[in-house]
Structure 1
């Protein structure tokens, strides 16, 4: 019985939906040696991700993509994000390439339908979420212990829960590890920056004659930053029309849209190409990371067929984000006319623009303090970059732990059971440095002398805004540059029990019917606790939305069942015919009951030629963020405002729309363009949200022809449709109907700055008003292809592994009256608003590995990304021709792997072998998070040629 239990723990061999083939870039020999040994009379129990049924003779209908141990070694990954982020059809979420908009963790976005619609599992069990959106941080995965990754990309909700709409990524760890392994990785970019370090120590031992095993892994990873200022593509900031430009928050100070010139004591018109601030150099292309991992597991067979087990993991990671210096970003400020630093030219213009007479202006200038009858403050829009303060820094420190404990074994020779509980918690502390507090800057503006504030509390020091950009004193900076931050805490508790086994087949053949039954209870909790500054609207300068404190929780009770029934075997035209079905009944405390189910099967007319398909119906409940996040005003993307500049002049209809949205009639013709391509967006959670439903199906073939040994081909068509989707409208969903069709409801969702008519400013400028609803529809479909062929050669062997994806459609419609937007092969701020990552129509990875006896492996990975276009339904007037398309891209990675001795192995890689530069499409064609440094750093390589070496010692 002991061998059977150990095989059960192993979880699975390298199967793709029940067909044993080498995993990605893995040799046939690798695949053969993955399976645990079995006795002559006993076959190992095999579990494949996507099913809880443990039977090596039963084929699952869901396609499973596998990254095997050999590929993991070749990639020399520092974290789990690097193992799967470049796979065709897998869209990465936030990660190391996201700086402005990063959250300090790496998430997964299967099929581009949202990071909250897939699951990340460890050995088939859930991990505590790392965000309020229930996203899992890939950084917590212990990469050194990962044996393989299995990705179900056709949906897996009936097996793992309804939030697995797009599928799951299951990281499976090594079992029964015995001995010691020391591994170290060093990587460096050819340009000398972005160094990457990883060190792991793994210790394991069997004890009590093999009845037990314990393993411990301690890991350390460090990633050095790469600044956008250190790459040619991103050294300057380019606008969508090709002009070198930047942010309108600049220096010297900009008052009501005009620039103060200290040399002439006068104001002049702001000209973007001359005056805009280049914010790029201080941003990161590769965010720095330091992480410590601790992972341990143990098992012990307490009886002949009963085993207890436990696991625990702890991760501490620190990620740093860097942005251009903070400042006064076009908010409305109360400017005292007696400010001692206020130049006469500025005072005169401010008075004139507010219809204050020269006599009253002079009297106000001479006021001694706020109690003086002549004291006067004027609402003024001020843009001033605090270059004296240095770049804005955001430190995100995450502490995460999770523990598991359970018992499993056999009830009878044909029935297994597994009962376990887990609890995990994650705390992510966000500390903002060099941002500044608005209330303190306002206090510092109310100065009665160059050294004294009208309100001297808190150690107030006056601020001088009217020099050339180096005149704010260190004492003043120290006064308003107070730290601010918040802590996001999440927790997950699970109790789960299941039985799986087999019963005699009363229909056909000798293969028994496989089944699984179980029940599960999950409880989620999350909170955001902010200090006063970080939770107050418009208080922390340059942050976008505040983060008010709130909390929420819900739980779910579920029962599930699964069955695989061989229907016909070994008759003419049917080598095998199998039915697969599954049902999960859920009761959510927030949305009530729901039913998730699947039905499918496989047909193998001839041995080695198989057709498979499955249909799945899912019902996802809203998560804590979608339900409970307070409504706040943050930022969205818009490169050009229809009301900006002279656009409304001579156009009475457009003028009327702009005025109706809150723009003063007097500023028509001079409304500023969006600051740095960003506008205000007011949104938040919605406690009235209901469930969203999804229907998905896959249909494909698996070919392992006996006539061609060592060849495996899989091709699967997938289709996922989410209705009643919880979504926000894109900016164009609001601007299009309003300005192109005159839709009054859409126009009412745009509220402008009451002083200058822009869509930027403080709390008095809501900008776009977008509410989460269940009105969205998301559709994606395409084909996954996998071809693996291993050829023995006189010198060793050759392995060819092709993984490809064709995306047929990737559509998003925020509401029934919104645009049904197609984003396959297209990029824009609208496409990026939802899916984020560029979705090429075609992409593939092709790895060729030569095994040379007594020498090692030489492997070449060719990654190809299809060309993409600027969103075709958008007007191209004013868009530089070079930014309207990105050609197809090819990347080559070369790796050599060898064993110096029985105990020492070396792996050396050159990534981006040809040093391919990323495309330049400006900094304004997409969303801020993903269109950064004039390119898309999460899609295209921005680091250049780089080298890495890994040494592994085993004892």
Structure 2
């Protein structure tokens, strides 16, 4: 449902946000965000002193694009003391930086730009106006590869731009512009840490540039280094040490009015301990455990677990008993070690050479190398009730064997958290290599360029302490060898000399018996037998060759008509390989499948600006902007994208702008050709309301078709001549994507199927006899539509006060709708704070307020950011109440910054982020090791201090 826009709410937030700083609100801040339109739209006391800004919203220079553009300059980079661009982009209300903090199926640590919550693949990332190659096999781009030392500005087009820049620019464009004519030397070094002293971030960046041969040759080099030592224990935070989890409510029925799910503290595993415990996730399983406990002489209501010597002892159940979690009791918990952020180490090197062959012809070559290494950990290999023990098991206690015989049981099932395996370590490395070369020039008022770009990116991920399932199963099935009286694998006893055909991977010949009874009972030899490291390695290639021409062929009564034309050829290839065991799906998790995908794209475009009025009685300015692009994909054929835009100023202080465009995104290699990764996560079966560890297979879909988006933007800019330094803009946007390429989360697939949406049921695999959920297949598909709409607002005022200068700025984003429609069913994601993409829930409101004061050698800044709350999850609240309290409160954050210039060459600076150490809302996800604060917009790190210095020579 589309929500109404209330302008009074917006201006109350912008004008009165400081009043929100009252007890009961959470606090922190973000850095100032620069003007949202080209430089000529910004009122300053000395406009000539401001550097020129090249705007990404158009291919035509010297023209104010009708598409809204947010620009972040070096002033904002320095004010926030950022070490990566993702830290600054996180403050743009329309933009979210997605970072995986430890999901084994996704690249860990990558910071991916996501405009409008439409997904990272719909945000085109450019470096110096040229496309950046994917940095991982999924086709996303880690913004950490961009060198911060030379960034001159970051331009964010907050509307569709496919006609100007090609595929993927559905939600917009993020363009990083580097200063390739920098002269001199600069060094920036900083150190940051949390108030808890458990997260540290040293960072250094440097750049040097010089001109030779009477300024005809310019050479620039730069480098960055950053080490973020991460934080892998959420229990280090007061909000993260209560073992909070999302539980199924065993008392729920569709008609009794009780919630289906519970968010409660002191959550323990129902059927996992360090030493093993008999399964008890369902009432029938607990009845079996109770019966065996009574035969062992335990008190009524006790279950059965195993002590350090492997002897059966009583197991106390808690309340709210479900298939994975319960409240209280003797179960284990690994929640304290849930990740807040991964460890990241980053190196970036950049070089640029530009040579003026003539005053009007320049040769250039740029080279970029970046390496980003990340490290994250997850829980040791868990077995949530999936271990089958026969009555002749070599390690089974005689007392329990007798109890089983008395109960007529030939086997039992136990669950176990296998700490002997060690924590699962995910070590990944992203290497990016890019060379851009070409020639550019001017003649008779026209400019042209011919360029080539070679991108070679590689991604490697190793998963340590993974487990080969077949070996685990063989080792658990042990018996006593009658010849030696010692434990032996049953398979090896039955087949002591297997042939290569019977045992191609030496699973039987090398088998070591596994003792699952008691903490620490599994021997090192057994662990060496079944545990090891899996890996995936991918190589992404991108070749781009382009030619562009722009100029003015003629003039009208209102001024020069400007045109830009160009053509481009692009080749994209992804090759993924993995270890042999992964290719055969032998590991417990990930099991990356090798695949190769390649396509090429041929494009031609034209853009025109036609002035219709200039200084007339009815219009100070009126111009029309149009663009047309034809794109031919080798995988899906040709498609036409277009844009029509208008600028109209009835008088100098007021400008109206609007665009209407058709934008395109074709599926990438991963979406088309990937063969599937495997993970195991807890899935709540809505038929039984029981959570079970379930295999999930994610793969591509070669039948995907390109998605097409219709985008409308309309806005007004008011810059009154009677109030120098003030500027205000309001822009409405609406994006509707037809045949949207969508991937639904595994839990959503199961829930949608259960709700009667049959198109999802093909991905839900159940045991044909027991109907127990065993596997969920996740593939992308073309949904009916994906829509979003809302309003962006900016207020800015600069003035002099007490001998210094003041800059005030307010930015706001209001989201009216973010919804998917498939088979006539619509789901709205506005205000969802507890779920992950795609598409991700977004706040209804995000507001940024910044105030900066500079006097002499001092600079001071204070910022305020408000992130609206909403619902934990409303997707399935159609006929039942999923949560008793489904609300999530918003958060307010405050930051402080200061700088002092000791000399013309050296400046000291400092910054405090999240000054009041505001806690994030508690929104746990439903996996074995829950992330307690799962909302991606809220700060989990806590108060963060940064000190540093800048040297300029």
Matched, 1:462 2:512: yes
Runs of 5+ in structure 1 lacking a partner?
Answer: 1-12, 37-45, 362-377, 646-671, 760-764
Could you tell me how far 1:874 is from its partner in structure 2?
A: 3.7
- Give CA-to-partner distance per residue, 1:634-666, whole Å, 9 cap, x none: 45674x423337xxxxxxxxxxxxxxxxxxxxx
2:101–2:339 Cα contact (<8 Å) kept? no
1:92-103 alignment runs, 5 A limit: 92-95=97-100, 101-103=106-108
Tell me, in whole angstroms, the C-alpha distance in 2 between the residues paired with 1:350 and 1:104: 48
- Deviates most, 592-601 or 474-483: 474-483
Shift in CA distance, 789/98, structure 1 to aligned 2, threshold 3 Å: farther
Write the mapping of 1:911-922 to structure 2, written as runs, cut at 5 A.
Answer: 911-922=913-924
In the aligned structure 1, how far is the partner of 2:35 from the partner of 2:48? 11
Q: How high is the TM-score relative to the length of structure 2?
A: 0.84
Q: Work out which of the residue numbers 887, 890, 895 in structure 1 matches 2:889.
A: 887
Distance 1:568 1:744, change over 3 A: closer
- 2:432 paired with 1:400: yes
Distance 1:197 1:28, change over 3 A: farther
Determine the C-alpha separation between the residues in 1 that align with 2:188 and 2:748. 51
Q: Does 1:673 align with 2:687?
A: no
Q: For each residue in 1:443-489, what CA deviation from the matched residue of structure 2 results, as whole angstroms up to 9, or x when unmatched?
A: 32244555654548578463544433221122322222211111122
Q: Superposed, which structure 2 residues align to 1:416-565 within 5 Å?
A: 416-449=447-480, 450=486, 452-453=488-489, 455=492, 460=510, 462-506=512-556, 508-509=557-558, 511-537=559-585, 539-541=586-588, 543=589, 545-565=590-610
Looking at structure 1, the residues matched to 914 and 36 of structure 2 have their Cα atoms a distance apart, in angstroms, of 29
Aligned residues: 851
Cα distance per residue 1:803-851 (max 9 Å; x no partner) = 11111111122x224x31111112354xx34223x41111111110011
Cα contact 2:225–2:347 (8 A) shared by 1: yes
Q: CA 1:304–1:873 in structure 2 vs 1: closer, same or farther (change >3 Å)?
A: closer
Structure with more contact order per residue of length (Cα contacts < 8 Å, sep ≥ 6): 2
SS at match of 2:120: coil
How does 1:661-810 map onto structure 2 within 5 Å? 672-675=690-693, 679-729=694-744, 734-735=749-750, 738-740=753-755, 749-753=763-767, 757-759=771-773, 765-766=774-775, 768-810=776-818
* Structure 1 residues 287 and 100: alpha-carbon distance in aligned structure 2, compared to 1, 3 A threshold: farther
Aligned position for 2:619 = 574
Choose which of 257, 270, 274 in structure 2 pairs with 1:251: 274
Q: Distance in 2 between matches of 1:856 and 1:470?
A: 60
- Tell me the distance in 2 between the aligned counterparts of 1:484 and 1:30: 60
Equivalent residue, structure 2, for 1:941: 939
Please name the residue that 2:8 is paired with: none
What SS does the corresponding residue of 2:692 show, helix, strand or coil? coil
- 2:691 partner SS: coil
- How far the C-alpha of 1:702 sits from its partner, in A, is 1.6
SS in structure 2 at match of 1:820: strand
Give matches, 1:535-684, under 5 Å: 535-537=583-585, 539-541=586-588, 543=589, 545-631=590-676, 633-634=678-679, 638=683, 640-644=684-688, 672-675=690-693, 679-684=694-699
Structure 2 Cα separation of the partners of residues 834 and 381 of structure 1: 36
User: What's 1:7 paired with?
Assistant: none
Q: 1:348 to 1:146 in 2, by over 3 A?
A: farther
Q: Do the aligned partners of 2:119 and 2:837 also contact (CA within 8 Å) in 1?
A: no
Answering whether residue 817 of structure 2 is matched by residue 851 of structure 1, we say no
Closer/same/farther in 2, CA of residues 811 and 346 from structure 1, 3 Å limit: farther
CA contact (8 A) 2:599 2:633 kept: yes
Corresponding residue of 2:826: 820
User: Partner residue of 1:342?
Assistant: 396
**Which position in structure 2 is the counterpart of 1:413?**
444
SS across alignment from 2:376: strand
Displacement of 1:500: 0.7
SS of the aligned residue for 1:498 comes to strand
> 380-389 or 686-695, which moves further after superposition?
380-389
Shift of 1:30: 9.4
Cα gap change, 1:350 to 1:777, in 2 (>3 Å): farther
Q: Provide the aligned C-alpha RMSD in A.
A: 2.9
- Give distance in 2, aligned partners of 1:887 and 1:627: 39
- In structure 2, the residue matched to 1:669 is none
Greater mean alpha carbon deviation, residues 493-502 or residues 449-458: 449-458
Equivalences for 1:150-299 in 2 at 5 Å?
150-226=155-231, 227-240=233-246, 241=262, 242-247=264-269, 248-257=271-280, 260-263=304-307, 265=312, 271=321, 272-273=326-327, 274-299=329-354
1:309-361 Cα deviation digits (max 9, x unpaired): 11001111110111111133555x665554311234655677899x77xxxx6
Aligned equivalents of 2:363, 2:35: Cα separation in 1: 27
1:477-514 C-alpha deviation (Å, 9 max, x unpaired) = 222221111112211110011001113312x22x3111
C-alpha distance in structure 2 between counterparts of 1:427 and 1:350, whole Å: 54
Taking a change above 3 Å as real, the CA distance of residues 773 and 874 of structure 1, as seen in their structure-2 partners, is closer
Q: 1: distance between equivalents of 2:117 and 2:541?
A: 26
| C-alpha displacement of 1:235 | 2.1
Aligned equivalents of 2:688, 2:874: Cα separation in 1:
23
Q: Which of 51, 66, 82 pairs up with 1:35?
A: 51
Aligned partners of 1:698 and 1:719 also within 8 Å: yes
| Maintained 8 Å contact 1:281/1:324 | no
